[in-house]
């Protein structure tokens, strides 16, 4: 049974500025470089004629950096392929979908995201489900992944805040 979790991050910029960052290849290249992954690749990024943003990334962590519980179920390094889809801002908000597959283990994530206005900026809320298909210990691994997702979102929030308030957001 998948583990569900709700996460949120606040940004010091309007929804439109955050959405614009999501549509900037420089943002993604810099975010990946800052991710802490051993290997991070922007596989593809496009902005459709309707303004929809589609991004695919791959991030890898060397097996030796992982907790023993997680490493024993991997075939090689931890490789995560992440797909993000962001719909254009309508009525002040943008809806998104984020999916991730761990290619070296039976694990996946699916989520719905919403970027909305708030006083002084915007808020990203994410409702996610993590699934690990490993008998007996899958739930425990899901808990480890859920904790790591919270840390990842906090790191991405910090990066995006710096991006939005720095010279590179132009």
Does residue 160 lie within any of the structural domains?
yes
pLDDT of amino acid 145: 66
Q: Are 123 and 116 in contact (CB under 8 A)?
A: yes
Q: Scanning the structure block, which residue is given the tokens 């030796």?
A: 64
CATH of the domain at 65: 3.30.530.20
Where in the sequence is the domain holding 48, given as residue range(s)? Answer: 3-165
Does residue 135 lie within any of the structural domains?
yes
pTM above 0.75, yes or no: yes
CA nearest to 161, candidates 3, 48, 17? 17
Q: What is the pLDDT of residues 65-82, one digit of tens each?
A: 777 776 776 677 878 899
pLDDT of amino acid 142: 66
How many domains would you assign to the chain? Answer: 1
**Crossing angle of helices 25-33/138-165, nearest 10°?**
120
pLDDT of amino acid 76: 77
Q: What is the pLDDT of residues 84-128, one digit of tens each?
A: 999 999 999 999 999 998 887 788 889 999 999 999 999 999 998
Does residue 13 lie within any of the structural domains?
yes
Does residue 170 lie within any of the structural domains?
no
By three-state DSSP, how is residue 63 classified? helix
Q: Hey, CA dihedral for 137, 141, 142, 143, is it positive or negative?
A: positive
**Crossing angle of helices 15-22/138-165, nearest 10°?**
110
Q: Are 128 and 142 in contact (CB under 8 A)?
A: no
CA 23 to centroid of chain Cα atoms: 15
pLDDT band at 130 (very low <50, low <70, confident <90, very high): confident
The predicted model gives 1-23 an average pLDDT of 91
pLDDT of amino acid 104: 76
Cα(42)–Cα(28) distance, integer angstroms? 7
Structure token digits, residue 98: 């984020």
Does residue 39 lie within any of the structural domains?
yes
Q: What is the pLDDT of residues 14-43, one digit of tens each?
A: 999 999 999 999 999 999 999 888 999 999
């Amino acid at each position: 049974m998948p583990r569900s979790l709700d996460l949120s991050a606040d940004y010091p910029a309007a929804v439109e500025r955050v959405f614009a960052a999501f549509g900037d290849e420089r943002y993604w290249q810099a975010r990946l470089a800052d991710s802490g992954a051993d290997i991070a690749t922007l596989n593809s990024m496009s902005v459709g004629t309707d303004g929809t943003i589609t991004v695919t990334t791959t991030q890898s962590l060397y097996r030796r950096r992982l907790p023993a519980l997680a490493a024993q179920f991997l075939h090689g390094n931890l490789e995560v392929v992440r797909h993000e889809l962001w719909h254009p801002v309508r009525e002040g908000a943008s809806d998104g979908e984020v999916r991730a597959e761990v290619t070296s283990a039976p694990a996946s994530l699916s989520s719905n995201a919403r970027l909305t206005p708030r006083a002084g900026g915007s808020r990203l809320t994410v409702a996610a489900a993590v699934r690990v298909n490993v008998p007996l210990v899958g739930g425990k691994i899901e808990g480890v992944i859920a904790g790591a997702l919270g840390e990842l979102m906090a790191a991405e929030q910090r990066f995006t805040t710096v991006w939005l308030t720095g010279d590179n957001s132009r």
